[in-house]
Amino acid sequence: MAILADKTTRVVCQGMTGAEGAYHTAQCIAYGTPVVAGVTPGRGGERVLDRPIFDTVKEAVDETAANTSMIFVPPLQAADAILEAVDSGINTIVCITRGIPAHDMVKVKSIIRGHGVNLIGPNSPGMITSEEFKLGVMPSGIHKKGTIGIVSRADSLTYEAVMQTTQIGLGQTTTVGIGSDSVMGMSFVDVIKLFEQDRRTKGIIMVGEIGGDLEELTAQYIADEVRKPILSYIAGVTAPPGKRMGHVGVIPESGIGSAAFKCAVLAEAGVQIVQSPTELGSRMLEYFEG
Amino acid sequence: MNLHEFQAKQLFRAAGIPVPKGEVVDTPSGAVDAARRLGGQQWMVKAQVHAGARTEAGGIRDFNDLEKLHCFAQEMLGERLITAENSPAGQPVNQLLIERPCGVKNCYHLSVMLDPRSGQVVFQGGLSECRDSAELSDQSPGNFFQVEVDPVVGLQPFQSRQLAVELRLDRTIWPPFFEITQALYRLFIAKDLLLIEIGSLVENDHGQMMVLDVRVQVDNNALVRQPELAQWADYRQDENQVLGNGLGFIAMEGDIGCIVNGSGLALATLDIIQLNGGSVANIVEIDNGASTDALANACQLVWDNGRCSCILINIVGGIVRCDKVAAGIIDGIQKYNITCPIVVRMEGTRAEEAKALFIQSDEKIEIVKTLDDAIILLIDTPES
């Protein structure tokens, strides 16, 4: 296995009895993920997808030795679900839920600091180690076992990078969607650190987005610590400055947040930049062949 | 979501934070009546739009003559105010806030916001330029400093003291300042605010503290538990908003309409089209929450009564299921009688089922495998 999961991983799904939770958990099980239990308050004692359901995460951990959680709980209850998982000793949490109020998430962030918990998301498609282990909602079929680690904050665009590395034959080790909310758990740096240490990962693709300063903060770390080839596409290079672009907000003309600035600081840190997402696969291949 | 100044001041008043006496009006005669009720010889008239830099744009003026005030109100109401901070089209002025001015002795800047990285609530303060119009300007002088509050423990009294000392407040106004900072913190938490930006927190001639100008932003994700704030949404102010029914809309100037899932893929689609010499008319961004009706509506939004010459549907399904999207879009094409060429690229969750639906639908739709193929169909590249 690659990063964030190994042979000891046992998964509990919080919110498995909901339509979304049940559908995607079934897909994860079919992919080979060791899902051992579900948690839905008030539904303890039932069985769903042939797994026991518990009222609390603590019970699930005590009974099934779960150590990893995937969360499909509705937005207003999701922060509580994350804190319950942390309190019960879960060490890796993937939160798929979208639309969690920011105030709930800052509280979560403040509490989990120093707990050594890996929180992926919220508002994340999850993570997948190709052909081994899936904790998320990404389409399974596009992933192929290989050598590229992919980290992305641009939801469905993540799959684009996956499809291209699959089509061109490189394949992936692990793909992690860190989510597109402003208050997030693991950052680009946290995931890239794991890829840099992972023996199977030979190259890294980072999919960023205009707005915010996440890519800028990652550049310094890459310059100092990353020796593996790293390729990046920043979505929105052609977006007109000064215009509000959906969730991204208003695009600054220059400086932090603008595409030009992000690309420049990443390039300076040794990152190869592609202008169009259709070049991700072929440029990575050039890296290895050239 | 942004609040209007008058709405923010209403929240402040209820929270016990002093603001000037004022009334909000939507007609010129109402403006004069309000000024009469407020009394005095001088009045501030402030255009209500979701943007700063209103003074420089002529949206805030003071009057000592009711006839001139009436004229100004007549000019402003129903017009669009263009400031340095909004789009070239400006924003519509539908309300004016009429206030009594107050004499300013000292003026400060104070903001409350979230730091997403540290998970802390940040108070940021500084000395502000003293002006009669007293509105936030990006060029405010002075050094900024900040105090970080752990949301788990809340704002502590010593932190208010640190702020007071950094702002070099006269000790006589420490007590009202402490009350204001505590009230701001309570309001920030209770109302799920993302930003309180007080451009002018002033000490007036009578040694009282008062907020003259403020900008407030509410977390969209929290509107479900803040129903009274949700009612204050003014969608006429902000173009390209998330529409709240699983659709987001971005208006552009070109001729290719796009329906895409996810903001990252939306931006990538824009990049690919524009790097290949095409131009985008608009983008509708859909998410998992979009119902079949909302998806049909998405078709109408991109079609825009024929303003777009072709439509690209670019969906890479994960949590969004391609077949559900396809059903909604076929519905929309038929319902709104969309006649322009449509190119579909669908991959991921249930993509094959989706393609089957398109083929069965009898609508003239081109299904392509990759974005490069889509570009070839959408953009007439000049012969080289």
pLDDT of residue A180: 84
A44 in Cβ contact with A69 (< 8 Å): no
**Residue B239's pLDDT band (cuts 50, 70, 90):** low
CA dihedral B86, B91, B95, B99 (to 10 degrees): 20
Reply yes or no on whether the pLDDT at B141 is more than 70. no
- Mean pLDDT within A225-241: 92
Longest dimension (CA), chain A: 58
B280 in Cβ contact with B258 (< 8 Å): yes
pLDDT of residue B263: 84
Tell me whether B226 touches chain A (CB under 8 Å): no
A64 in Cβ contact with A36 (< 8 Å): yes
Per-residue pLDDT tens digits for A88-112: 999 999 999 999 999 999 999 988 8
Per cent of chain B over pLDDT 90 is 63
Token pair belonging to A41: 């308050």
Q: Which range, of A2-11, A104-113, A233-242, averages the lowest pLDDT?
A: A233-242
Tell me whether B65 touches chain A (CB under 8 Å): no
User: Cβ contact (<8 Å) for A155 and B318?
Assistant: yes
Domains of chain A with bracketed CATH: 11-120 (3.40.50.720), 138-289 (3.40.50.261)
Q: Which sign, positive or negative, has the C-alpha torsion A176, A180, A183, A188? A: positive
Domains of chain B with bracketed CATH: 1-19+103-239 (3.30.470.20), 21-101 (3.30.1490.20), 247-378 (3.40.50.261)
Best residue in A20, A24, A83, A103 for a mutation probing chain B (most B CBs within 10 Å): A103
C-alpha span between B149 and B114 (Å, rounded): 10
Higher pLDDT, A273 or B119: A273
Q: Helix (H, G, I), strand (E, B), or coil: what is residue B342?
A: strand
pLDDT of residue B132: 42
C-alpha span between B315 and B323 (Å, rounded): 10
- What average pLDDT does the structure give for chain B? 88
Q: Which range, of B41-55, B91-105, B280-294, averages the lowest pLDDT?
A: B280-294
B289 in Cβ contact with B248 (< 8 Å): no
User: Cβ contact (<8 Å) for A235 and B268?
Assistant: yes
Write down the ipTM of this complex.
0.87
Residue B101: C-alpha distances to residues B24, B109, B130 (Å)? 15, 18, 13
Q: Which range, of A241-250, B68-77, B231-240, B298-307, averages the lowest pLDDT?
A: A241-250
Longest dimension (CA), chain B: 78
Phi, psi (deg, nearest 5) at residue B305: 50, 40
- Mean pLDDT within A209-230: 93
C-alpha span between B127 and B199 (Å, rounded): 10
Which residue on chain B is closest to A182 by alpha carbon?
A: B116
Reply yes or no on whether the pLDDT at B383 is more than 60. no
**What's the burial of B244, exposed, middle or buried (CB within 10 Å: 0-12/13-18/19+)?**
middle
Beta bridge partners of A207: A152, A233
Tell me whether B89 touches chain A (CB under 8 Å): no
Compute the residue count for chain B. 384
C-alpha span between A15 and A98 (Å, rounded): 14
Q: Which range, of A150-154, A184-188, B157-161, B304-308, averages the lowest pLDDT?
A: B304-308
Q: Give the helix ranges, DSSP H, for chain B.
A: 5-14, 28-38, 66-76, 157-166, 174-190, 227-230, 263-275, 292-303, 322-335, 351-360, 371-378
Residue with tokens 């990893």: A68
Per-residue pLDDT tens digits for A171-180: 999 999 999 8
For B304, which DSSP code?
A: G
Token pair belonging to B355: 């393609």
Which residues in A lie closer than 8 A to residue B249 (C-beta atoms)? Answer: 246
Give the strands of the sheet with A272-274, arranged side by side: A133-136, A126-129, A172-177, A145-152, A203-209, A230-235, A272-274
Q: Helix (H, G, I), strand (E, B), or coil: what is residue B301?
A: helix
Reply yes or no on whether the pLDDT at B135 is more than 60. no
Which residue on chain A is closest to B375 by alpha carbon?
A: A278
- Mean pLDDT within B210-226: 93
pLDDT of residue B241: 52
Q: Give the helix ranges, DSSP H, for A32-154.
A: 57-64, 75-87, 102-112
Ranges of beta strands (E only) in B205-264 are 209-218, 247-251, 256-261
Helix B28-38 × helix B66-76 angle, to 10° = 140
Reply yes or no on whether the pLDDT at B137 is more than 60. no
- Mean pLDDT within B286-304: 85
For B85, which DSSP code?
A: T
Residue in B31, B22, B74, B86 with CA at minimum distance from that of residue B236? B86
Per cent of chain A over pLDDT 90 is 80
Residue in B197, B250, B84 with CA at minimum distance from that of residue A248? B250
User: Cβ contact (<8 Å) for A245 and B319?
Assistant: no
Phi, psi (deg, nearest 5) at residue B339: -110, -10
Residue in A124, A102, A162 with CA at minimum distance from that of residue B288? A124
Distance from CA of B38 to the nearest CA of A (A): 38
Q: Which residues of A belong to the active site?
A: 247
pLDDT of residue B318: 84
C-alpha span between B295 and B293 (Å, rounded): 5
- Mean pLDDT within A119-138: 95
Best residue in B243, B267, B376 for a mutation probing chain A (most A CBs within 10 Å): B267
- What average pLDDT does the structure give for chain A? 93
Chain centroid to CA B377: how far?
36
B382: preceding bond cis by omega (within 30 degrees): no
Reply yes or no on whether the pLDDT at A253 is more than 90. no
Which residues in A lie closer than 8 A to residue B222 (C-beta atoms)? Answer: 101-103
B108 in Cβ contact with B128 (< 8 Å): yes
Which residue on chain A is closest to B86 by alpha carbon?
A: A242
C-alpha span between A255 and B317 (Å, rounded): 33
User: Cβ contact (<8 Å) for B319 and A108?
Assistant: no
Q: Helix (H, G, I), strand (E, B), or coil: what is residue B208?
A: coil
